[in-house]
Each structure stands twice: as structure tokens, then as C-alpha cells.
Structure 1
Amino acid sequence: MGCDACVENKGCMCDHSTQDLKSVVNEADVEDHTEANSSFAHSVINMIGMLIGLGISAPYALENGGWASAFLLVGIGVICAYTSLLLGKCLEKSPRSRSYADIGQHAFGSRGRVLATTFIDLEIFMTLVSFTISLHDNLITVFAGTQLRLPLWTKLSTSQLLTMIGVLIALPSLWLTDLSSISFLSFGGILMSIIIFTSVACIAIFQVVKANHRIPVLHLHKIPAISGLYIFCYAGHIVFPNLYKSMKDPSKFTKVSIVSFASVIALYTSLAFTGAKLFGPEVSSQITLSMPRHLIITKIALWATVITPMTKYALMFAPFSVQIEHSLPSSFSSRTKTIIRGAVGSFLLLIINTNYSTFRSIF
């Protein structure tokens, strides 16, 4: 039996001495302790910050699926919350597991690690692409009619240049090393999402849009199509192992999950019904694109939607950055690892930015 299993089972069944075993255990404990610096509040902010802001398509999905599809929205949220609790239990039972790849290897061996790593990396990449597409769509709406004179050699359109500027502004966030530091970005994302919801609510309360559309009961044939939109509302599990390992008291992870998912489910359900009632069949795939463009509150909401994905790049990239750091030689200093990780993240984001139109046609 390998020494990793020996350490995990609190006893050595291999040829290592007791002193060696204590050294391995202590090194692991020190590593966990140095990274576990997030409080309960930090963890809640990071989890809500990861989940919230992904559901601005909920009104579009509800209008197309019917009001009965709201049960699907809530049901998927409950299932995702439960799987979050199961994930916490897996990490609790296997203290040396730090990621889905570790859990995959623990359950299915090396093939499980390869499979888990492949799916995780694909999800990270596709989510970063979706953030960039959302950033582009809202930037061209904010700057509608704006034409920038660019040198011919750049071969960039105005919308591409604006998106690149937004991505460049977000790049420094990829150099942050711990989740307690990233929590202020998550709080900013939460604040932006609250601004979006408040803007939609104000349009409804003050009857800026005098409409009270009837939401159909159920469009059964559209359920498969809108299910993906509902699932994407809760696309944050990729970061949960990092959140768990960053907590000072991991035993509170269950409470973090319950508080976070309850808040997000309530917000998404309210936003879905409000947006669908306001705009009816004319509701856009992103609720902010349906709001009257001449209103100041719409401009505020659009800017909030622009900023939201910029606050999520760092947290979404965190699992991949951990993989990078662990793959580097232990002889590298922490500063060197940070530089390499930040450089890889910056390069990846720039590649996505320069090719997002291609990815958009695929996705």
C-alpha cells in the first residue's frame, strides 16, 4: 500500500519510518494551514459570487419554457446544492484530496484522474469563453453607434477592441493567489448582480415598461433547450473544492452551501418571473438587452453586466491555477510559481479574446 494511503489512514503500512511519516503529515498540515485562510463570510461571498450573475438568461428560459419550468429552475438548484454537500463529504473523508482530479483518482485510479481533469479543464475553458461573449455583447450595447478609427494593420473592429480592453483590465486579477483575496472581487460581482436585479425591479415597480405579459404554462418541447440555461445558472461547482480547502473551518462548508444556494435560487426565480412578465415573448437571451436603452437605469445595469464577468475570471481560473502550481517543480519559489501561473492565465485569456467569435459560432 502506498504511503499516501498510509498517511490518510493515520498509520504507516509501508517501509517508511515513523519519523518519515510524521514529516509527511506535518508538511501536508502546514500546506493546508497556509492556504486555509478564508472565513465563513469569505466562503459565502465567494460561492455566491461564483453562482450569481450567471442567471441573466433565466427570464428568457422561463418565457420559452412556461411558468411551470420554474420548478425545474428550483429543482436543479436544489440538486446542485445537494451535490455540493456530497462534494464536501468526499473531501472530508479524503483529507488529502484537493480537487476533482484527486477524487477521481481516489475512486477510479489514474483513469479517473485523467477523465476528471479533462472535463474540468473543458468546463473552465468554455465558461471563460461564455464570460467573454457576455462581456462583448454588453459592451457593444453600451457603446452602440460608437466607431473608433483604428490603424489598418490592427485588423480589429470597434467591438473587438472594446472587448480586448475589458479583458486586459481583468487580467491582473488572475495573479491573485488566495481565495480570501479574491473574495473582494466576488463581492463586487454580487453587488453588480444586485444592481441588475434592482434595475429590473425598478422598471417593474415604476411601470417604465407598461406591460404585464401572460407567461405560458408549459412548452414541453422547449424544455430540453432551456434546461441548459437553467443548469448554467448554477455552474460554479468547478471552484467548490478550492473553496472547501481554503476554509479555516471546513466543517462549515455545509452551511456555506445552504446559505449560498438558497440566496441564489430565490434571486434567480424572482428575476425570471419579473423579466418574463415585463417583456414577454420579446425578452432577450440576456435580460439587460431587453431594457429600454434610453433610461439611465438601463445604462447602469448594462455596465453592471459588463463588470460582472470581469469579476469572475480569477475565481473560475483558480482550479486550473492550482493544477499549474502543483505540476511545477518544488524547487521553484512561490514568486516564480505565481509568475508562471499568471502568465499562463493571461495567455489563455488573450487567446480566448482574439478567437471568441470563432468559439461563439461553435457554442
Structure 2
Amino acid sequence: MYVWTTKFALPQNMESQSQLQVSNSEQHQKGTTFFKTCFNGINSLTGIGILSMPYAVSQGGWLSFILLLVFTMIFWYTALLLQRCMIKHPLIKSYPDIGEVAFGYKGRTVIAAFIYAELFLIAVELLILEGDNLAKLFPNMNLKLGGVRIEGRKSFVLLAALIILPTTWLRSMGALAYVSFGGVVVSIILIGCVAWVGEVDGVGFHERGQLVNWEGLPTAMSLYAFCYCAHAVMPTLINSMNDRSQFSKVLVVCFVTTTMIYGVIAVLGYTMFGDYLMSQITLNLPSKKLSTKIAIYTTLINPFTKYAVLITPIANAIEDRWLLCKRKSIAILVRTTIVVSTVVMALFMPFFGYIMELIGAFFSVTMSLLFPCLCYLQINKSVRQLGSELIIIIVILLIGTFIGIMGTYLSVKNIVNHL
């Protein structure tokens, strides 16, 4: 009979099982606290999507808020499924581990390819975002390195990477929680600046908007889905906790808080600018106002608080694969290498921004909706019996498939139109 001999194989005797329990206990006693995990989770969920949330509502109309709430519950539920998989197999440490438990080595390979490609490309996008926005604020910026003159956007990409680099050396998710706290504060400041522009700077809240815009609903749906696609880092957050059973409460705090943040800025932006909203709320704000400048600088700070959390699963996978976890100098080298590789791609991929929507639709929806359901069904075979839970999972699979196909089609169409 075939015996599964990977690192997830169960102990063969009571003594080894006892040793495993003691080892796990010692590991999680030093883990991240409940509140620090909440900050990491909220920071992962409230990404650059906060800028486009008002635009999403303007595309779908006021009734599209129902979709926002529906997506909140769906993505919360699929994150909960990942936790259930990890509780059933305590040795699971990452998303690819879940894939291996569910579908063997092939499952691990497929999920690892999706997750690390998604996280890596989002990290590249953050550097491009920094370079593009700073180049607009300071168009005459030049940088000299060893006699080589680097101009414009590329110089800001390099500077942003140098500033971000030290945060990636923080291996502890507890330490990264302080960086994540800064990300939460940045989101609150952005909301405050938008509210200030409407109330004090004279823009006002006079736009009524549309009740529903059927033509724009697919766009609104894609943006709502993208905003909650943080499942790639969820297993890392779970494994970092000193009490993994508390993660279900963490999910409630994270998704409720994130939905409130998204909802507030969406209402503010839509009542201020209505159907004239641009893809980013900062582009609508009056350029000469102090509050607008603060909002823009706040937007530029945001990627600095998210980059390290995004690449941590990639770094952890490399360190675990080559047994480098206990060597701090090698860990720093691994993280530095990842940063350098994202810088290279950010510098030499001028059309990356046009295909980012395609990557988000294809990778993010697959990782956050489809894979959690499929892995959970495979690991928990009792769920396959017809019941309410199976029906919910099937509905989520259908929704995820629809969003993935529709989002990919629209993204490809936009790319073709911009060629």
C-alpha cells in the first residue's frame, strides 16, 4: 500500500505525535498576536483598490453596493475554507501545502505557480505605481549611479525599492504588523482628505448618481472582486499566529473593517463627483488644494506598507525549500534578490500596466475563489454529500468561473484596444 511520505505524513506512534504537539506548541507561543494579525490582514485587503472603489460604484450605480456586500461574504467564506483546511492538517504552513494535501505534488506545483506569480507581479506593479506617480510630481528628477544617468520614472523606481528594501528584512509577521498598522493609518488619512475636500474645500456632496447602471456592472463586479483578493497571504497569516483557532475572528475583523473603509470612500467619492469619477479618486481632487497633495502623498506611501507582506510568502517558500530559515544573513540575501528581480521587471516592462488587469482577473480570482473551494472539497470528502455547504461552494465556483472568464475577456479586449 502506498504511504504518503511528504512532510505532511502523520506520526506513526504516540511518542512522535507527542513530540509534534510539543513542537507546534513551542512554535506558536512565539507567534503573532490576534491584533497584530488583524493589522496584517486589513493591510493586505485594503490595497490600491481603495483608490478605484468610488469609480466602481459609479460604474454600477448605488445598487451595486449589494454586490460589494455579497463579495465580502463570499471572499470571507473562501478564506474561512483555507483555515479549515489548515486546522484539519496542523503541519500545513502555506497555500502550496494545502494544494499538496489536496491534490498531491501536481496540486502543490499549480497553486505555487499561481500564488507566487500573482504576488510577484503585484509587487512589481507597486514599484511601477511609485515610479509613475512620483515622476508626475517631480518630472525633472535625475539620478546618477556610478557615472550612469538615470532619468524620470526609472530613478524613482530605484529609490522606492531602496526605501522598501529594509522592511523586507523583517522576517517576523509580528514586526511587519507595525508596518501594516502604517498602511491602515494611511487608508484612514486618505478618507479624511477626501472628506475634507468635499466639506471644507467647496466641492460638496451634491451628486445623486444612478440607481443602477447595467452596462457598467461587469466593470464594478471585477473591481469589487479584485479588492478582496488577498487569499494568497492568508495561510501565512494563519501560520504566524500564536493561536490559529482565533483566525476566524481575525477574518471577521478584517473583512468588516475593510468593507467599512471601502464603503465610506465610495459614498464620499460618488456623492462628490457622481458619474464624472475617474479610475482613481485622487485624479478628481482639485490639484492646488493642500488636502489633495496630502492625499496624493498618502497614496504614494501606501505601497511601502504592503510590499514586504506581499513577498513574505515567496521568501518563506524559498527558505523552507532550501532549509535556510535559521540563517539570517541568507534570509536577507533571499529577500534582497526578490526585490532586485521586481525592480528589473519594473524598469524594463513598459507595457506592464496594460496587462495588470488580465493578471488580476486570471490569477486573483482563481486563488481567492476557485482553489479554496476545490481544495476544501478534496480534503473534506464528507462535504461532497448534498447539503447547504456543498450548494454554497458550487455557487461560489460558478460565480468565480464567470468572473474569471468575463474579467479575462474584458482585460484582453482592453489590451487589444491599446495596442
Query: Could you tell me the TM-score, scaled by structure 1's length?
Result: 0.88
Runs of 4 or more, structure 1, over 6 Å off, are none
1:54-65 residue pairs with structure 2 within 5 A? 54=48, 55-65=50-60
Cα 1:68/1:149, change in 2 over 3 Å? same
| Residue 315 of structure 1, CA deviation | 0.3
Q: SS where residue 357 of structure 1 aligns?
A: coil
What is the CA deviation profile of residues 253-281 of structure 1, one whole-angstrom value per residue up to 9, with x for unaligned ones? 01110011001101101211211221223
1:108-127 residue pairs with structure 2 within 5 A? 108-127=103-122
Cα 1:218/1:244, change in 2 over 3 Å? same
Structure-1 residue corresponding to 2:284 = 290
Structure-1 residue corresponding to 2:130 = 135
AA at the equivalent of 1:334:
R
**Percent sequence identity over matched residues?**
32
Q: How many matched pairs?
A: 352
1:301 to 295, 301, 320: 295
1:102 to 97, 101, 109: 97
AA at the equivalent of 1:228:
S
1:261 aligns with 2:263: no
Q: SS where residue 350 of structure 2 aligns?
A: helix
Q: SS where residue 209 of structure 1 aligns?
A: coil
Distance in 2, Cα, partners of 1:133 & 1:70 = 30
1:67 to 55, 62, 67: 62
Distance in 1, Cα, partners of 2:19 & 2:99 = 22
Cα 1:140/1:213, change in 2 over 3 Å? farther
1:352 to 307, 327, 345: 345
What RMSD over aligned residues (CA atoms) do the two structures have, in Å? 2.5
What is the CA deviation profile of residues 194-244 of structure 1, one whole-angstrom value per residue up to 9, with x for unaligned ones? 000011112222252146223122222222233222122112111111111
Structure-2 residue corresponding to 1:227 = 221
- Range with bigger deviation, 174-183 or 80-89: 80-89
Distance in 1, Cα, partners of 2:222 & 2:26 = 38
| Residue 2 of structure 1, CA deviation | 3.4
Distance in 2, Cα, partners of 1:349 & 1:324 = 16
AA at the equivalent of 1:251:
S
Distance in 2, Cα, partners of 1:291 & 1:82 = 36
Distance in 2, Cα, partners of 1:272 & 1:278 = 10
Structure-2 residue corresponding to 1:81 = 76
Cα 1:31/1:286, change in 2 over 3 Å? farther
Distance in 1, Cα, partners of 2:7 & 2:321 = 21
Distance in 2, Cα, partners of 1:316 & 1:169 = 16
Structure-1 residue corresponding to 2:322 = 328
AA at the equivalent of 2:352:
F
1:252 to 238, 246, 253: 246
What is the CA deviation profile of residues 76-105 of structure 1, one whole-angstrom value per residue up to 9, with x for unaligned ones? 111111111111111111111111111111
Structure-2 residue corresponding to 1:2 = 4
AA at the equivalent of 1:350:
V
Structure-2 residue corresponding to 1:206 = 200
Gaps of 5+ in 1: 13-17
AA at the equivalent of 1:259:
V
Gaps of 5+ in 2: 357-419
Distance in 2, Cα, partners of 1:117 & 1:93 = 20
Q: Point out which structure has higher relative CO (alpha carbons under 8 A, 6+ apart).
A: 1
| Residue 164 of structure 1, CA deviation | 2.3
Q: Tell me if structure 1 keeps the 8 A contact 2:164–2:304.
A: yes
Q: SS where residue 293 of structure 1 aligns?
A: coil
1:160 to 147, 150, 154: 154
Q: Tell me if structure 2 keeps the 8 A contact 1:275–1:287.
A: yes
| Residue 148 of structure 1, CA deviation | 3.0
| Residue 333 of structure 1, CA deviation | 4.6
Q: Tell me if structure 1 keeps the 8 A contact 2:42–2:255.
A: yes
Distance in 1, Cα, partners of 2:19 & 2:118 = 33
Q: SS where residue 191 of structure 1 aligns?
A: helix
Q: Tell me if structure 1 keeps the 8 A contact 2:173–2:237.
A: yes
- Range with bigger deviation, 337-346 or 171-180: 337-346
| Residue 169 of structure 1, CA deviation | 0.8
Q: Tell me if structure 2 keeps the 8 A contact 1:164–1:353.
A: no
Q: SS where residue 288 of structure 1 aligns?
A: helix
Query: Could you tell me the TM-score, scaled by structure 2's length?
Result: 0.77
Q: SS where residue 285 of structure 1 aligns?
A: coil
Q: SS where residue 71 of structure 1 aligns?
A: helix
Distance in 2, Cα, partners of 1:107 & 1:285 = 39
Distance in 2, Cα, partners of 1:333 & 1:266 = 40
Q: Tell me if structure 1 keeps the 8 A contact 2:142–2:149.
A: no
Q: Tell me if structure 2 keeps the 8 A contact 1:7–1:25.
A: no
